[in-house]
A = this chain, B = another copy of it.
């Protein structure tokens, strides 16, 4: 069975960088945006649309009811979110079958649980996440501190909701991962060689 490493990460915690560097150090495949591109190819939905439903729990519109009867109304947006999730899960399993790899986000720890992945969760305090976002932001981004904080909270809330919707578990719960890394005081490229040793 291949060596699968899954990475859950708070927005701005540097989890993606940690995953990419870990894959480089271990010389194994790294999957992140590639998954979106592959879903787009298979479903003929646009990458932009898939991105918009990706890592977001689907919104369920309640059915119309008249008097005492319920008529399940068609809910194409809800159904399509589930289809994207299903397709994504198929792709994750194919990737896990193909070779050793690092996979970022997408409930991969849960979807691939039969492959016994090594599950990493990456978090950081708000100050550190804001600083990292500032460093990586395009030059023309003009968010105030308050707006940036709200944006980070909103993305993390969405990811937690997505994870909980599809897995029934709490996102980042210490018993659902093997190690949880708080990057607030770390320089990621300096710690990756140590974590890579876990897979020697």
Contact = CB atoms under 8 A, between A and B. Distances in A.
Contacts of A186: 178
Nearest to A186: B178
A181 B182 contact: no
Interface of A is mostly: mixed
A73 interface: no
A131 B16 CA distance: 35
Contacts of A180: 174, 179-180, 182
22 contacts: A123-B174, A123-B175, A124-B175, A125-B175, A172-B174, A174-B174, A174-B180, A174-B182, A175-B182, A175-B184, A178-B181, A178-B182, A178-B185, A178-B186, A179-B179, A179-B180, A179-B181, A179-B182, A180-B180, A194-B194, A194-B198, A194-B200
Interface of A: 116, 121, 123-125, 172, 174-175, 177-182, 184-186, 191, 193-198, 200
